[in-house]
Structure 1
């Protein structure tokens, strides 16, 4: 499928993003076998001169539509804001530090076009530290719709940086909302509640940059508290059952208080394949 199909790519950057990583991310978009005809990039607050220089470099290479927010409001707000400027119904997400495989958009959009009952298509992703392939760790998600629904009650059923969705379905579910660290999972549960259908491609279509401190960012009392508040909100809104809420709290909260070395072992040995 090489016929041009109108679709958008949605991104957000903020002050602490790396200019080098952003360049790699934008290059991977520019090298797609099926190219977006619109890229809405939200500047979530003031950004560095280096980031602005990268954006200027790609103005003539990509159909960038740059939207600015006066102050940093967080990813959920930035994506919700950016979605208002998207002119196509099909939207591909992309983070500012990841690298899409060259046929990612083509594969995902082909499934959406051929299967109009699907409202969101994600994929497996390959985690890396410095260069793609250096870790060889695949983060897998369930392929079929029914398995996705079951999985969603315990863990996020999609890899957020690799999702492609129908804009109207997301807007009807309330769009992205502010829920620190869990903006994506919160949206997925609301999409599920609204009766949408999903599919996860089992090929890894995106290289996900974990960095040296990914585990550290998901450890500690403060993160555990954000996680607890998310699951509490999900239960109150009837997005998960009481059993799954209690199960999440009893398992996840103690995990976040473990040493980083122990958490690294759990992530690499038990949660990744």
Structure 2
């Protein structure tokens, strides 16, 4: 039984899928299985996958497209490893990715899910997300700060909590899951670049941006509900302004409304104690001051 199960759903990614698979097969850490699920591709992806002879690759072919969430959940059901890692079919993992992540998880038994830094250009500056659990959980109220294709998690946690992705949050299913898990487990992000995250016109975040944004809004509203808050359209827009660092300190009315909104949320958090109060205050302060983490 391999220690790591890598799950890679594929749908119409013939241009990139061989590179993505190759980046896993050449890992310096070799005790893994790669579960490749072709979800009814029509562009030749399935043929390219069929040509791979490495016995560590487990191949699944759907006769028709079922959607990403279905493939992800199928992969979770198939995974036999102690750890489950995610990989997208248009990205590239660094050769030492699995070795670094397995070592980290072995040395930190309290961490049940972790991500890592990534770049969006070869040789570019890594994007480092919040590192420690309280930071991650707090920033998840604002946006997704765990990069899905860098994730590794314990299979024991997946089994214990019955972890599955939710179809009700299309194109933000990862963001929904991280928020759902954060109160129950310890998370981390390694400040080490372990992935080249490919930007291209065909990726989900470009093709389905409006749907993704709506799903993310639903996730945030669920989180605000835990604080006893139901945001109006205007308040939702204020939250977006915080997330996108659009608070204008030179506009007194805008700045005053932003401070009022932040203090309102902080007061509710003081009452319900959902988030670390200091971290939440820091997050709002950084947004207002235009100081991304």
Q: TM-score, normalised by structure 1?
A: 0.77
Is 1:78 the counterpart of 2:76? The answer is no
Is 1:107 the counterpart of 2:100? The answer is yes
**CA 1:248–1:43: 2 relative to 1, 3 Å:** farther
Q: Is the 8 A contact 1:93 1:163 kept in 2?
A: yes
TM-fit CA distance, 1:114: 1.3
Deviation string 1:158-183 (CA, Å, 9 cap, x unpaired) is 11110000123234153211121111
TM-fit CA distance, 1:81: 1.6
Deviation string 1:65-120 (CA, Å, 9 cap, x unpaired) is 12234432322221012211111230110000000001000001101111111101
Deviation string 1:192-234 (CA, Å, 9 cap, x unpaired) is 122x1112110111000011476744655x5443333333345
- State the superposition RMSD in angstroms: 3.1
Aligned to 1:167: 155
Aligned to 2:285: none
**CA 1:20–1:224: 2 relative to 1, 3 Å:** closer
Is 1:7 the counterpart of 2:4? The answer is yes
CA distance in structure 1 between the aligned counterparts of 2:154 and 2:91, rounded to whole angstroms: 22
Is 1:207 the counterpart of 2:196? The answer is yes
The DSSP-based 3-state class of the residue aligned with 1:67 is strand
Which runs of 5 or more residues in structure 2 are unaligned? 245-289
Aligned to 2:174: 184
The DSSP-based 3-state class of the residue aligned with 1:193 is coil
Aligned to 1:50: 44
**CA 1:271–1:13: 2 relative to 1, 3 Å:** farther
TM-fit CA distance, 1:271: 9.2
CA distance in structure 1 between the aligned counterparts of 2:207 and 2:43, rounded to whole angstroms: 26
**CA 1:216–1:41: 2 relative to 1, 3 Å:** closer
The DSSP-based 3-state class of the residue aligned with 1:186 is helix
Is 1:22 the counterpart of 2:11? The answer is no
